[in-house]
Structure 1
Amino acid sequence: MTPLKIGACLKANEIADHRGWLFDADRDIELQDFGSYVGLTTELEDRISAAKAALDGHNGRVGIHGPYEGLDMDNKDPELRPLISARFLKALEAADRIGARQMVLHSPYSRWYKWNLFNKPNYEQTVLGRVHDIMQPVVKQAEALGITLVIENILDVDPATRRDMVDSFASDAIALSIDTGHAHLARRMSGAPPVDYFVRDAADQLQHVHLQDLDGHADRHWAPGEGEIHWVEVFRALSDCQSAPHLVLELRDKADIPKGFAYLQSLGLVQ
């Protein structure tokens, strides 16, 4: 198994603390400055300027985490759906202006969806229709800009549901993201399959991975090695993936990035 190169999720003002590690090896960077209301409105120009300055000299791949709080991709209110599309489009603009070519958005699927799939007539098609209503203009703009939207599992129980949703757009501008911690938490809470099964189900639709560990109780975002995830099997599955996904540590305490990297490196999994 060949060790894989990983990077990290950071805000622009945190990049300097890890600059040598990131820049010397052209590691993936995911900027997390554009996920909030203020980040895409009153502070947008300042954050774009800060991101450009922080990324100056970086030759690796760049993505951003898009907005998500209160922005359900499956929103039942027809008056609110255009507002959600507009917020995602504004985030795409920010991504394009800083040179990012990937944007993370959150999956709308949950245990509730899984358990009620056959409880209501045409439930799957109804939900997918609402998702398309919000996402069609976003996918179209992502195509125009050459940016890939990657849909991250949050409460997903069955990884195939999100994969089928992505496939339904028939576009190279939308693909899959996996958060290792969310996948493991869904296993413990809702009987989802283990993390490596999420990876293998995604196969070459996988374009992005958040690497984080946890105890199975809460979304801890601990450094790998501090929780329960079986990292060797996760990276065995990632090594079989031909799509070269962005691999980024998404840790609550950014000071733990070297520790998390060192742990995975000690297992011969990363470089």
Structure 2
Amino acid sequence: MTLPVIGACLMIEDLETYRDWLIERQRDLELQSFHDSAVLDGDWQALVDRARALLDGHTGRLGIHGPFMGLNIGSSDPAVQAVVARRMDQALDICAALGATQMVIHSPYTPWDHANMDNFPRGRERIVECAHASIGGAVRRAADQGVTLVLENIQDVDPMERLRLVDSFGSEALQLSVDVGHSNCLHFSENAPPADYFISAAGNRLHHVHLQDTDGYADRHWALGEGTIRWPAIFRALEGLTSAPRLVLELRDKAGIPASIRLLTDLGLIEG
């Protein structure tokens, strides 16, 4: 069995430190310097130029984290939907300038939705319709641009809701992301399934995974092994997928990358 090689989520200022590590195995990279509104409305081309210079020689798969602060793709307010659409367009401009082929966006579902979608007429359908109004244009543009949008679980309780939402678009340009730390938190707080169940539910719709550890209480983004996630279960759930999801460490303290790699290597779950 071929073991996966994992990459990381980094800011542009981290690239000098981790450039050689990325290039030695041509690891997947998710740049997280482009989601803030100040960046989107500012001179982001200078950041793109710096990133491209630092990544000279990197041929691994490149993506970005898209905008999410203050945005809800399931909002029923047309004014909010217009803002979401504009922010997605700005981020896709950045993808084009970088040569990025994937962008992470956030799920609209919350525990309140989980408990109340069936408490109102067409509650489930309305969230889907609002998401189409917010990101439908972005999904079509992404398809034309060769970018895949991946919908990350944030406060999701039922992993199948996100899958049904993605399926409703009928586009290869919208797929699923699983953040195992988020799943772990909702498992403890809302009795959601454990993180490996989220991966299994996604199946070959899974194109991206955030690897981070938590205690189940808060979104810690700790180095792997510092929390309660059962890593063998995560990687068993990934076995057999043909979608080749990008597996990237998303750690608050990037100094935890080497220890996280060592842990997974020592467990026989990845190639170092």
Normalised by the size of structure 1, how large is the TM-score? 0.98
| C-alpha contact (below 8 Å) 1:111/1:190 kept by paired residues | yes
**1:14 corresponds to which residue?**
14
* Residue 188 of structure 2: aligned partner: 188
Asked if the contact 1:2/1:269 (under 8 Å) is kept, the reply is no
1:113 paired residue number: 113
- 2:252 corresponds in structure 1 to 252
Aligned to 1:168: 168
1:17 Cα deviation (Å)?
0.7
Give the Cα–Cα distance (whole angstroms) in 1 for the partners of residues 43 and 228 of structure 2. 38
**1:74, distance to aligned residue in structure 2 (A):** 1.1
Equivalent residues in 2 for 1:207-226, closer than 5 Å: 207-226=207-226
Distance 2:161 2:255 in 1: 35
Structure 2 distance, partners of 1:208, 1:86, is: 24
> What is the alpha-carbon distance in structure 2 between the residues aligned to residue 205 and residue 165 of structure 1?
12
Q: Is the 8 A contact 2:19 2:55 kept in 1?
A: no
Match of 1:54 in 2: 54
Q: Which amino acid aligns with 2:232?
A: V
Contact residue 13 and residue 50 of structure 1 kept, 8 A: no
What SS class does the counterpart of residue 247 from structure 1 fall into?
strand
What do residues 154-210 of structure 1 show as CA deviations (whole Å, max 9, x unaligned)? 000000000000000000000000001001111001111011110110000000000
Q: Does 1:127 align with 2:127?
A: yes
What is the letter of the counterpart of residue 150 of structure 2?
Answer: V
Using the TM superposition, give the Cα deviation of residue 107 of structure 1 relative to its aligned residue in structure 2, in angstroms.
Answer: 0.3
Structure 1 segments of 4+ aligned residues over 3 angstroms from their partners = none
- Cα deviation 1:44-69 (Å, max 9, x = unaligned): 12211122112111010000000100
| Alignment RMSD | 0.9
Q: Distance in 2 between matches of 1:252 and 1:246?
A: 19
Report deviation, 1:80.
Answer: 2.2
The amino acid that maps onto 2:183 is A
Cα pair 2:111 2:157 within 8 Å, conserved: yes
CA contact (8 A) 1:2 1:239 kept: no
CA shift at 1:150, angstroms? Answer: 0.1
The aligned residue for residue 33 of structure 1 is 33
Tell me, in whole angstroms, the C-alpha distance in 2 between the residues paired with 1:143 and 1:131: 17
> Could you say what secondary structure the match of 2:207 adopts?
strand
> Helix, strand or coil for the counterpart of 2:23?
helix
**For residues 236 and 150 of structure 1, what CA distance do their matches in structure 2 show?**
21
Alpha-carbon shift at residue 240 of structure 1 (Å): 2.1
Partner AA of 2:217 in structure 1: H
Q: Hey, what's the Cα distance between the residues in 2 that align with 1:179 and 1:193?
A: 13
Aligned residues, how many? Answer: 271
* Cross-structure match for 2:148: 148
Q: Which amino acid aligns with 1:120?
A: F
Alignment of structure 1 residues 73-112 onto 2, 5 Å? 73-112=73-112
Q: How does 1:225-244 map to 2 (within 5 A)?
A: 225-244=225-244
CA distance in 2, matches of 1:63, 1:222: 22
Contact 1:225 1:263 in 2 (8 A): yes
1:179 aligned onto 2:176: no
SS at match of 1:168: helix
Aligned counterparts of 1:131 and 1:164: Cα–Cα separation in 2: 12
Structure 1 residues without counterparts, runs of 5 or longer: none
The 2-side partners of 1:43 and 1:36 are apart by: 12
TM-aligned CA deviation for residue 83 of structure 1: 1.5
Q: Percent identity?
A: 46
Q: Which residue pairs with 1:4 in the alignment?
A: 4
Q: Is residue 204–residue 241 contact of structure 1 (8 Å, CA) maintained in 2?
A: yes
Q: How far 1:29 moved relative to its partner?
A: 0.3
